Structure 1
Amino acid sequence: MLQRPRRRCEGTAMGAIVLDLRPGLGVGPFSLGMPICDAFAQIEQQPNIYDVVHVKYYDEEPLKLDIVISFPDHGFHLRFDPWSQRLRLIEIFDVKRLQMRYATSLIGGPSTLATFVAVYALFGPTFPGIYDKGRGIYTLFYPGLSFAFPIPSQYTECCHEREAELPLEFPDGTTPVTCRVSIYDSSTDSKVGVGALMDKACAPPLAAGSLYMEAVHVKLGEEIWFTVGGQHIPFGASPQDVWTELGRPCGIHQKQVDQMVIHSASDPRPRTTLCVDYFYNYFTRGLDILFDGQTHKIKKFVLHTNYPGHADFNSYMKCNFVIYGSDFGGSFHQGEGTAKRMITPSTKWEQVKEILGDCGRAAIQTQGSTSNPFGSTFVYGYQNVAFEVMKNGYLATVTLFQS
């Protein structure tokens, strides 16, 4: 698990913030189901509050474990599904560091102890919880919300059943104190707490017609097709065509240098004066479109996977592209047995080679050694498509062009 500190600013008082607790929905500005890019946007808007932020992920297999944004000074973290990159679970792991507001009452933080009695008084009656004997943890459940309480070994007989009685007080008159709070979507009706129960938390369903992670089908050398909106964008389309189909781009910038012109001995002009091509950036769709500066026609599409460990991470939302192997002629319609022949953001480079065949040596992409802490990537070219591959074998970008 790689841990990447985002920023650090000393002197912030621990437990000094108060966040609204919304069972089944979120906490503070963080809402269940939000894309990871939106979470980072919230963090960037409040740098004085979220001044120490860690990003944790499994570098070798980024789809195996959650992407976690952690706030160690405030005692909570956000867990994102690694495939959809949407927030599935919020955990307050140090309740003494984060004060939560529910309705008009406060709980947690350094001044308001989150005892079992306090939780029960604030959130009301509920069914008996679950006792994990191996961990010594009693978990109390409300819709979209759970509280975990450690039970001292001398009082485990109070919770000897899996569904134990409510441990309002121990025989000595004390009451358990919350060690962890979990906030999760309640629509699946799954109890979520510590241990294996945390894996049951899923991001809430997307709204009908949502464009997030819509499948983008690729017909190599011809066009891309968006499945939700039904837009077809072919090579050779104009900027006006793209505006009509996809709306205003998030950004427009000129391509500074044509890096391949060095291979041409016939044109003596300086490299920096040759390229007048320009990009339309659709960050929320994980897509760049390159236009020829002379003809103003589309010449390339760049599709981004937004994996952590790449220099462009958090610049784009994930593009959920689908590319079919050459055996299927670029058809958009999936027939029987084609799933193993599809290239998607989850496909590793070795699988790509099995589908498309070997393409020879790779070009090295550094993206600026001083500003890129993740090292170089490798670019492999085929007819009409090039793949930028990370060191862990996952695809970073896919560039589509006409040969």
Structure 2
Amino acid sequence: MGGLTLDLRPGAGLGAFNLGMPVCEALAYVEQHKSLFDVVHVKYNDEEPLQMDLVLSFPEHGFHLRFESRSQRLRLIEVYDVQRLHMRYATSSIGGPNTAATFVAVYALFGPTFPGTYNMKRCIYTLFYPGLSFAFPIPAQYTECCQHREAELPLEFPDGTTPVMSRVCIYDSAVGGGVGVGAPLKIALPPQLPPGSLYMEEVHAKLAEELWFTGGGQHLPFGASPQDVWAELGRPCGIHQKQVDPMVIHSASDPRPRTALCGDYFYNYFTRGIDILFDGQNHRIKKFVLHTNFPGHTDFNCYIKCNFFIHVPPTGDGEEIDKAAYTGGLQRCITADTKWSEVQGILGDGGRAAIQTQGSVSNPFGPTFVYGYRNIALEVMKNGHIATVTLFQSNV
């Protein structure tokens, strides 16, 4: 597909893709504009998803969106094939299949700037503007010229030709150094969140007791009512009944018939990465489900990542934890980024796992493994990362 034109906004974004936006917002926009973005590749490190960017790639339009893996926020936009994408800056266009994006054209459009840098190994000259960089390959016969004239702008080669742009990077202008080809790409970070933002708000949990939201200071204890939840968190994104409890067969003390429908119901807070389960008879909170939103799980992009901190007392028996220790790092803690091997070091051996297939043998991501402890159950992916955490009260 050709002919796509996106506004180039140095230090801010490209088209509707804004630096700092969560990956779920980007995917929602793509979903709403399928006619423009009918081919999208989601790229990530399957074994170590926190070690590399989460990338949305648009091969037909020649650009990547790079999301920082822990916060899942857009840190860098990379146009790697400028002939596939028309970019509009002010009233002028650059790139596309019919217009060569030459050094002279770029310099004329964006104006004077400081001399760029020359990467001798890659034979790439990079020109920098605030929140924006352009990469120009230098032909082999002229690399010697650039090596000895790094302080000058290679507007023209000795034969009268001019370098042609091969790549554009858009990043937060607060980055101290220039972001260019190779290792410098890694220094781009998402912009700071605006004041009052609840994205990646810390959610602290005391086993068998409550959740505490640091952004707004809300407390939600087990046994709270739906009215309490509405008052603290606002209207849920969704409400649905839990039709069947698939784990009830494992509970020897549960008197309900094994085929009975379950009257319990969920409040879904997708934008907080949390589900809250209410007992269908007394309408009180009985479980919290916290989601990590890792790629490679069937629930990916259904929830924003919950930035949780589950504090485990030294004895593991639910003893009192000082509220001041919530953020003081004094307690053993399980977070959304904690791996299963580390969890076992905190909670002990998880025993045999229940296999979770998400109800489909054709699930492309394969099964997950559920390990149960007193007051907590963890769903673990094949790569050892936590997919969900379910908190409950074992003595209720």
Shorter-chain TM-score range: over 0.9
Q: What is the identity, as a one-letter code, of the residue corresponding to 1:27?
A: L
Q: Greater CA deviation, 366-375 or 258-267?
A: 258-267
Note if contact 1:97-1:108 (Cα within 8 Å) is conserved in structure 2: yes
Partner of 2:346: 355
How many Å separate the matches in 1 of 2:48 and 2:322? 30
Aligned-residue RMSD, C-alpha? 1.8
CA distance in 2, matches of 1:205, 1:335: 24
**C-alpha contact 2:204 2:326 (8 A) present in aligned 1:** no
Deviations 1:5-33 (A, max 9, x none): xxxxxxxx33x100000000000110000
Matches within 5 A, 1:79-158: 79-158=66-145
**C-alpha contact (below 8 Å) 1:24/1:183 kept by paired residues:** yes
CA deviations 1:175-227 (Å, max 9, x no partner) are 10111000000013321010011011000000112100010000100000000
Correspondence for 1:276: 263
Q: Quick one: structure 1 residues 335 and 42, their matched pair in 2 at CA, closer, same or farther if it must change by over 3 Å? A: closer
Deviation at 1:125, TM superposition (A): 0.5
Of all paired residues, the percent bearing the same amino acid is 70
> What does residue range 307-386 of structure 1 map to in structure 2 within 5 Å?
307-327=294-314, 329-334=320-325, 338=329, 341-370=332-361, 372-386=363-377
2:365 maps to 1:387: no
In structure 2, do the counterparts of structure 1 residues 249 and 337 end up closer, same or farther at CA, with 3 Å as the change threshold?
closer
**Structure 2 contact 325–331 (Cα < 8 Å) conserved:** no
TM-score by length of 1: 0.93
1:69 is the counterpart of 2:56 = yes
CA contact (8 A) 1:367 1:376 kept: yes
* 2:275 aligned partner: 288
Q: 1:223-302 counterparts in 2 under 5 A? A: 223-263=210-250, 267=255, 269=257, 271=259, 273-302=260-289
Listed one character per residue, the Cα deviations across residues 253-286 of structure 1 (whole Å, up to 9, x for unaligned) are 1111011333467857462x43011100000000
Residue 180 of structure 2 corresponds to 193
User: Displaced runs of 4+ in structure 1, greater than 6 A?
Assistant: none
Higher mean alpha-carbon deviation, 383-392 vs 330-339, is at 330-339
Output the CA distance in 1 between the equivalents of 2:208 and 2:331. 21
8 A contact 1:307–1:396 mirrored in 2: yes
- Give 1:356 deviation, angstroms: 1.2
Task: Judge conservation of contact 1:217–1:332 (CA < 8 Å) in 2.
Answer: no
Shift of 1:369: 2.2
- Give 2:376's aligned amino acid: V
Residue of structure 2 aligned with 1:306, choices 293, 318, 321: 293
**CA distance in 2 between partners of 1:337 and 1:232 (Å):** 18
- Of the three residues 46, 52, 56, the one matched with 1:59 is 46
Residue 173 (1) aligns with residue 160 (2): yes
**What TM-score comes out, normalization by structure 2 length?**
0.95
After superposition, what is the alpha-carbon deviation per residue over 1:126-185, rounded to whole angstroms, capped at 9, x for unaligned? 000000001000000000000000001111122115843100010111110111000000
Aligned length: 389
Give SS of 1:243's match: helix
The equivalent residue for 1:5 is none
Q: Confirm or deny: 8 A CA contact 1:219 1:332 kept in the other structure.
A: no
Amino acid at match of 1:58: N
Do the aligned partners of 1:130 and 1:162 also contact (CA within 8 Å) in 2? no
Amino acid at match of 2:277: L
For 1:336 and 1:294, how far apart are their aligned partners in 2?
Answer: 35
Counterpart Cα distance in 2 of 1:236 and 1:27? 47
SS of equivalent residue, structure 1 residue 61: coil
The corresponding residue for 1:398 is 389
Q: Distance in 2 between matches of 1:379 and 1:258?
A: 15
SS at match of 2:21: coil
Segments of 5+ residues of structure 1 without an aligned counterpart are 1-12
Query: Which residue does 1:78 correspond to in 2?
Result: 65
Name the CA shift for 1:162/1:82 in 2 (closer, same or farther; >3 Å): farther
* CA deviation string 1:29-83 (max 9, x = no partner): 1000000000000100100100000000000000000000000000001000000
Greater Cα offset, 95-104 or 183-192: 183-192
Task: Tell me, yes or no, if structure 1 residue 208 matches structure 2 residue 199.
Answer: no
Question: Partners of 2:285 and 2:331 in 1: how far apart?
Answer: 30
Distance in 1, matches of 2:235 and 2:328, equals 38
SS at 2:108 equivalent = helix
Number of the residue aligned with 1:220? 207
* Alpha-carbon separation, structure 2, partners of 1:80 and 1:119: 27
SS of the residue 2:82 aligns to: coil
Structure 2 residues without counterparts, runs of 5 or longer: none
Separation in structure 1 between the aligned mates of residue 299 and residue 49 of structure 2, nearest angstrom: 15
How far off its partner does 1:333 sit? 3.4
C-alpha change, 1:196 and 1:268, in structure 2 (3 Å) is: closer
AA matched with 2:22? P
2-structure distance, mates of 1:162, 1:37: 45
Determine helix, strand or coil for the equivalent of 2:144: helix
